[in-house]
Structure 1
Amino acid sequence: MARSLDERLARLRSRRMDAQNTILGSQGFGEAYEKRTSNKATRYALGAMQEVDPRSTQISLEEAEKVERNLTDGLKAENLYPDFRLQGSVPLNVHIRGASDVDLLVIEGVYVRIEACQGSLKSYSPYLGRGTLVDDVLYLRSKSENVLERRFWGATVDKTPAKSIQLSDGGFRRKVDVVPANWLDTSGYQQTLDEAKRGVQIVNKYTREHISNYPFVYIAEIKSKALQTNEGARMGIRLAKNIKNDAEADIGLSSYDIGSLIYHCPNEYIMHQIARDLMVLSGVEQWFDELSRDYTRASSFMTPDGTRRILDGKAKWDGLVKLSSELTELARSVERELASPYDYMPVDRETLRKRLKENSIPLAPDLVGGGYRF
């Protein structure tokens, strides 16, 4: 870990505190995890696993709702009535402040792409759009850009990204990525009407490439993994994302890649128990260490939606190796803090992980007049 623990703790605390909490922070108020230990590495590990302040999450949702409300109203004049859905880290509650944008899908509300299906529970009208669905999505994008520029004239409305419109500054408390798309009704969706099985297609505005995505499959699968591990999976994803964000070296894994890798982690590695948070650190470190030593195995894993291999390029393999090293260094730092400073001797990885798994850190009591809990 090239950055000092003091620097990492400061970065973590800064990310996790909204502007309204800075005064409290300066007066010594803090989060519950900060009260559980005075050891720096352990405090960083605990904080990196925690969900963000519920108010911070609510702000992200409010910003998405603000954009949705203005688009809904502004697009009516163009006879456009899109659907809206959130995708990405925020609806999964694995977002980290300062590194997670809000992704808002703006979905063409009339025409869909349909997979061939026997026994469909839905009926569809003939396509009567503007030529192709690509044309419809690009038209929706153009009109959305106009509305956003008029409604948020004081903000930065970046229209240059190929697949989204990015909103920031000018009163936006979070960056919001607006992603125009059309529905992709898979055979699985038509047979069940379960939206988790429904896809979307987005368009590269420069190449007109039509790209199929299945964000709701990903959300459903990660939520299922979290349920199976008593929230250990979500804790592990946040931990790995924070470590990536605080590393000095560039780690070429996206949030989606990190979540996908932890999705394949054996449940017993990351099963969370009350006051045994370090079990998750131990399990995530072990999993990434195993993968970093076995390229064939690591490169065989598919994303939860089954559309591609997670490590689909050299940069991602290199990123996994770097992240594994960072995790191991943090685990060793935490283990050193658990041992007696007077007779500490380096231990092998098996012993290191065993000590982390067996350690219990008491939960902080409710803070009355002395802090705030996330």
Structure 2
Amino acid sequence: MARTIKDRIARLDSRRSGIDRLTAVAQDSQLEVLAKSLVQEGYKNRAKEQPYTEYTLGSMQEVDANYTRISLEEADRIAKQLTSGLNNEDIVVDFRIQGSVAANIHIRGVSDVDLLVLDAGFFTYDAAGRQSRAGHYNSPISFTPLSALNTLRTRSEAILKNKFPAATVDVSGAKAIKISGGSLRRPVDVVPSHWHNTAAYQESFSERDRGVYILDRKKQQTILNMPFKHIDELNQRDAMTLAGLKKSIRLCKHVKADSDSNLVNGLPSFDIAATMWHAEIGGLASGYFHELAILAETQRHLDYLARNHEFAKTLSVPDGSRRIFDSAAKLNGLNQLSIEMDDLATQVAKEQNLLLKIYQPTWRDILETLRTVSLPAA
């Protein structure tokens, strides 16, 4: 946490207001974002002359609902243009939102929206599933899913360039077509994909159990994701923690963004969310009454995992598809994020209990302060 707290607050404000990504949006939206950035958010009044506490509270808050609404509207705008263009070429598609915006754990006012464009002309399936074994999937396709997604990718690129001539359409990525600027108020990542009916989906018919295969054009392969199960698991756990889980995830993501260490980049945002999903429910739920208890539980959980790598390596992502800490880089990222959170928790506790500035506080002192202090209402 080498940056000064003043710098960190400035960067936090920049991310939340969207002024850090002005060039990625239309000119009219730039003026709107600049005007919005001049309005002071309510959480700042809860921690006057307590900059570390202000930073913590701001890091936990949702992005302004109006910013999120605009992001979703722009994704819908892209979807309508792709629907029209692809239907003209006899390609029928579905659309879904995935990622941090869909889960409401994004930390930027100007956030990229992940838009899945799904070829609805076919799906793959688990052969061991009930519907498959019952013979309900008996219409084979004459092409490969990989070839279909390559076609979908190529046609989508051409349509976006044609429909949004003033925008930047970046086709260099392996998995997403990135479109920004021009008339767009928010950047959108378009991800070609197709449905996959898992064995669980063949039982439940719930979309949370339905997978998607996305195209990696550079490796010429498809990759199975379970984005809707991931989001549903986060939503359920967040409800159990009285909104504490998503506050903790946002806090971690802001701290990562403000770190001076490159090591923390080894832990992707997806895995940060998965890590905090395993935190103690009661510890996070305490934040409903004492908001800084969320910081206490976040610090405690990260510290425990950083000190117990063998246990950390047993933890799986919420959809159960893989282990979280499956590389040395992720473990190093965990260690660095834990160090950053240690420092933040210590500084916030000292602001809330001036006695802790007089002597070297123990972690029991720090965590007890964070878990019990009452802050002014917004």
TM-score of Structure 1 vs Structure 2, range by shorter chain: over 0.9
Is residue 296 from structure 1 mapped to residue 310 from structure 2 by the alignment? yes
The gaps in structure 1 that reach 5 residues or longer are: 365-374
What is the SS of the residue equivalent to 2:88?
Answer: helix
TM-score, with length taken from structure 1: 0.92
| Preserved CA contact (<8 Å) 2:64 2:109 | no
CA distance in 1, matches of 2:110, 2:339: 21
Which of 43, 49, 69 pairs up with 2:54?
Answer: 43
More off after superposition, 5-14 vs 343-352: 343-352
The gaps in structure 2 that reach 5 residues or longer are: 19-29
| Preserved CA contact (<8 Å) 1:117 1:187 | yes
Q: Between the two structures, name the one with larger relative contact order (CA 8 Å, sep ≥ 6).
A: 1
Q: Which residue of the partner structure matches residue 220 of structure 2?
A: 208
Which of 42, 66, 79 pairs up with 1:32?
Answer: 42
CA distance in 1, matches of 2:110, 2:324: 21
Which of 71, 79, 82 pairs up with 1:68?
Answer: 79
Identity over aligned pairs, percent: 37
C-alpha displacement of 1:265 = 1.1
CA distance in 1, matches of 2:67, 2:110: 13
CA-to-partner distance for each residue in 1:21-49, whole Å, 9 max, x for gaps?
534654xx411101111110000000000
The within-5 A match list for 1:184-263 is 184-250=196-262, 251=264, 252-263=266-277
| Preserved CA contact (<8 Å) 1:303 1:310 | yes
C-alpha displacement of 1:175 = 2.2
Runs of 4+ displaced beyond 3 Å: 21-26, 121-125, 272-275
More off after superposition, 46-55 vs 242-251: 242-251
- What root-mean-square deviation, in Å, do the aligned CA atoms of Structure 1 and Structure 2 show? 1.8
More off after superposition, 181-190 vs 334-343: 334-343
CA distance in 2, matches of 1:43, 1:341: 20
CA distance in 2, matches of 1:162, 1:273: 40
Q: Which residue of the partner structure matches residue 332 of structure 1?
A: 346
Give the direction of change, closer, same or farther, for the CA distance of 1:176–1:21 in structure 2 (3 Å limit).
closer
Q: Which residue of the partner structure matches residue 316 of structure 1?
A: 330
What is the SS of the residue equivalent to 2:74?
Answer: helix
CA-to-partner distance for each residue in 1:329-365, whole Å, 9 max, x for gaps?
000110111122696222111221111000111212x
Q: Which residue of the partner structure matches residue 27 of structure 2?
A: none
Question: How many residues are aligned here?
Answer: 361
Which of 175, 180, 184 pairs up with 1:168?
Answer: 180
Amino acid across the alignment from 1:357 = R
C-alpha displacement of 1:269 = 2.2
| Preserved CA contact (<8 Å) 2:316 2:323 | yes
CA distance in 2, matches of 1:363, 1:122: 60
What is the SS of the residue equivalent to 1:270?
Answer: helix
The within-5 A match list for 1:99-138 is 100-120=111-131, 123-129=136-142, 131-138=143-150
| Preserved CA contact (<8 Å) 1:158 1:167 | yes
CA distance in 2, matches of 1:302, 1:221: 12
CA-to-partner distance for each residue in 1:116-135, whole Å, 9 max, x for gaps?
24533993351224x21111
CA distance in 2, matches of 1:140, 1:152: 18
Amino acid across the alignment from 2:97 = L
CA distance in 1, matches of 2:287, 2:344: 20
Is residue 151 from structure 1 mapped to residue 163 from structure 2 by the alignment? yes
Q: Which residue of the partner structure matches residue 177 of structure 1?
A: 189
| Preserved CA contact (<8 Å) 2:305 2:312 | yes
- Identify the structure with the greater helix proportion: 2
| Preserved CA contact (<8 Å) 1:275 1:363 | no
